[in-house]
Amino acid sequence: AVSAFTLCWVSALLAFSAWVFVLLLGRNRMFRGTVVEKANIYCMQTLPGNIDRWLRAGISDAFVHRAQALWLSLFGRRNPVFQIFAIALYLLGLAVFMTQAAPMIPNRYVHGWQWITITLTLAVNMGTYAIACWVDPGVVDAANVDHACSLFKPDGLLYFQGAVCRTCHLRKPARSKHCSACGHCVQMMDHHCMWLNNCIGLNNARWFLGFLVSFSAVCIYGSYIFATVLLELRHTRGLVHAMVRDEDSGELMPLSFKTSILYLLDENVLLAVLLVLLLILTPAIAIFSAYQMRIVSLGYTSNEETKWLNVADDIKDEVLFVVEQDGGKSEYAIVEKEDQPTDHRRKQLVTDLAQVKNAYDRGAWANLCFLMFPPVSNRPKKSHAN
């Protein structure tokens, strides 16, 4: 039977993995309107609001202000807490692998030459993570704002000519976004990643994508390696042909595969913890990697996906039009229903999102090439870390 201790750490691991899954994927389009999005909203908005009200009801204002400052420093400002936690967890997992699994390689399921692929996979994963953390994502400042504005033309739908950042007070390049955590605008901003303690933008998106893909490979390959180690342990411990006495009949019967695996997991707690963590994280990381690959192929970012969802809502509300301009040109415009009877411009209602062309979509292969080999971006006067 599985011990109570094993059940406790498995439950804790499941809860932690579910929390990571909700944080990673909760706001993605694929989970819009689902329990995953609702859980993300609850964890990031509803729960903090409830805690704030509870604290104000029973604790002094000074304590409440300190709690709010702590929450802001963790989730609203650039800080290394989650980055340090991620690195520590990764190194801990690597230590467990080296002490618990490495001595069992090679075995009857894994050949010695696979140490080459194991080493290369880990090296690529750690290297792309380090570069994605360190590289300037494409910070916009007074020194490079002209160059940044020249990289992408405003499409008149998601981005507009002459836009100015209300925080930086600089011209806002198309496809950029102001990051409240870092305190500056970032070119081709995707999102701010607390696990990297950095924004993902024009200059480091390729390294972030490389990290995601290689981390998916680490999780999948790691799960396979640990599974083979467990199978090898069944042989070395003599459990393959082991016999046990039935408690009811008293007869000897073969030890089942399931019972032998549960026994080994209960006996090798560190090995079991890492294997279960890998099995749980693998789907979340793989789904997130596939999502990032998909939006890259379609020519937009996570930030722009939110904008496209707003466009879809405008189409659903029947307020998005293509308005004809002098000279045969046309542009998109929002005309509220109460204003439509008095708006006499030549216009056509947009009825389907398929009618709207993404001005930044070059085609799947060209989009990937652009991400992997972005245009040279002038560096700002100061590093983004300052």
Number of helices and strands in the chain (H, E): 12, 10
**Residue with the two structure tokens 């700002």:** 380
| pLDDT value for 385 | 45
- pLDDT score, position 224: 92
Nearest one of 154, 144, 170, 191 to 291, comparing CA atoms? 191
pLDDT at residue 208, rounded to an integer? 97
> Mean pLDDT of residues grouped by 10 in the chain (386 residues)?
63 73 69 81 80 71 70 74 92 93 92 94 97 95 94 94 94 95 94 93 96 95 92 91 82 88 86 84 86 92 90 93 85 93 92 93 96 76 46
**pTM greater than the 0.85 cutoff:** no
Helix (H, G, I), strand (E, B) or coil at 152: coil
Contacts of 27 (CB under 8 A, 6+ apart): 37, 40
d(CA 368, CA 293): 9
